[in-house]
Structure formats: structure tokens, C-alpha cells
Amino acid sequence: MTSNLIVLGVTWFVVFLFSTTLHEAGHALAAYRLGDATAYHGGQVSLSPLPHIRRAPIGMVVIPLLTFMMSRGGWMMGWANAPYDPLWAHRHPRRAAVMALAGPAANLLLTVLAGLAIKAGLAAGVYQVPAEISLTAVTAATGHGLAAAAVTPLSILFSLNLILFVFNLLPLPPLDGSTAIALLMPADLARRYQMFLYQPMFSFLGLFVAWQIFNPLLRPVLFFAWGLLYPGIG
């Protein structure tokens, strides 16, 4: 393993921890504001990754590092979760749906902020369209210094949070999008739907289907996002 790959891995891991922490803190804060203090008392309303790592060490540490090594530095994925009261969710399915949307909303916010930073760098002349766009090279520096050092973290922040946003919105259990559908249902139907979601078998099936459809979905999403950054590129 080269020193460049180690630096890239550390960068991916720092961005992953920050992005996942904000995602779960979004869930926890929304639940707290809407009447469920379970995650709040568990310490998940926090921008520190430590409470989230303690709750899901495999998903927050082991799997991200393994996926990075298996992809040979191409990407990193993992998971975390914020606890909530299922009785609260059953009584208030629409509140639970808003809680579910808060996590992807945090990832969308980070994607937009990273994109705005890249656009600002383009306007200032410190960034340019890279010769080849990838997850770790969404933009390129025109010179050296702080802006150049921020190219890789900004690129990963943009790419990873876009991936997390889209993947988590897939309407398949146990992803956030499956719970968010309750916003479109009458309360009684939403409660019955939630009972369906609690079945472990459907969660395993949902994850399997999600991975199958996400790969072909990701490419057009990335091209669309890159097109927003660089209008007119091929």
C-alpha cells in the first residue's frame, strides 16, 4: 500500500465519518423535535462520531475500511443507525417519515455545499474541469496551496453525499425512502404499512434489490450532477 493510497484512505474515512454522523444526527434531531427523545438520550444528537461508532462499530469503521481496500481506493461505504421508539413511530407515522427524510436531507445539504464551494473555486479561477472526472476528482486545481489541497476532500464530500442521498431515498426497506412513503398515505394505512416494514425478511430482500438497481442508477445521477457543475461538458 503506497503512501498516496493511505492518504486517500484517511481522507475517505474522515469524510465518511463526518457525512454519516451528520446523517444520523439529522435523524436524531428530527425525532427529538417531533416528540421522540430516544436517540437524544442515546447521545446521537451530536456531530461527534463517537456515539455513532459505539452504536455501530462494524458499519462505521470495519466495513468502510474493508470496502476501501476491496475497491482499491475507488470508494468507501458503511452504515450507522439512530435508535427510535417504534411505538412513537406507530402512533405518528408521518412524523416518523419526516424523521426518515432528515438523514438524506443532511447528505443533500453537504452535496450542495461541496458543489457551491467547487463553483466558487471555478469562478475564482483556482479550480477547473478535470481531464477525467471521478468520485475522487470532481474538480481540479489550477495551482498549488490550500485550494489544491482541498480538491480531493471536496470531491469525496460531493460524491459520497450524493451517493448516500440517492441510495437512502430508494423506497425499499430498511432504507429511509421506504419510511418516507408514509407521508403520501392516510394515517391508518401508514400504520399498517409500517408493520409491514418491520418484517426482517423484507429488509434483507429490500437491501438485495437496492444494490441491484443502484449500480445502473448511479451513473446517470453522477452525470447529471457533474453537468450541473460544468454546464455544456460532454
Does residue 75 lie within any of the structural domains? yes
Tens digits of residue pLDDT in 155-171 = 999 999 999 999 999 99
Beta bridge partners of 140: 128
- Whether 77 is in a domain gets the answer yes
pLDDT at 188: 85
Residue matched to cell numbers 465518511: 16
* 31 domain-assigned: yes
Q: How far is CA 220 from CA 132, 159, 216, in A?
A: 16, 13, 8
User: Is 163 exposed, middle or buried (CB count within 10 Å of its CB: 0-12, 13-18, 19+)?
Assistant: buried
- Encode pLDDT of 121-158 as tens digits: 999 999 999 999 999 999 999 999 999 999 999 999 99
Q: Report the pLDDT value the prediction gives residue 191, as an integer from 0 to 100.
A: 85
Let me know if residue 234 belongs to a domain.
no
Question: What pLDDT, in 10s, does the model give residues 175-228?
Answer: 999 999 988 888 888 888 887 777 777 778 888 899 899 989 999 999 999 999
Residue reference for cell 444528537: 45
| pLDDT value of residue 79 | 92
- For residue 154, tell me if it sits in a domain: yes
Distances (CA, A) of 80 to 37, 58, 211, 228: 18, 9, 17, 30
Asked if residue 100 belongs to a domain, the reply is: yes
Query: pTM score > 0.75 for this model?
Result: yes
Does residue 123 fall inside a structural domain? Answer: yes
Residue 60: which domain range? 3-229
DSSP H or E run through 204: helix 200-229
Burial class (CB in 10 A: 0-12, 13-18, 19+), 102: buried
Within 10 Å of residue 54's Cβ, how many Cβ atoms?
11
Helix, strand, coil % in the chain, rounded to nearest 5: 70, 5, 25
What pLDDT score does 29 carry? Answer: 98
Answer yes or no: is 122 within a domain: yes
**Span 55-77, pLDDT tens digits:** 999 999 999 999 999 998 889 99
Q: What is the count of structural domains for the chain?
A: 1
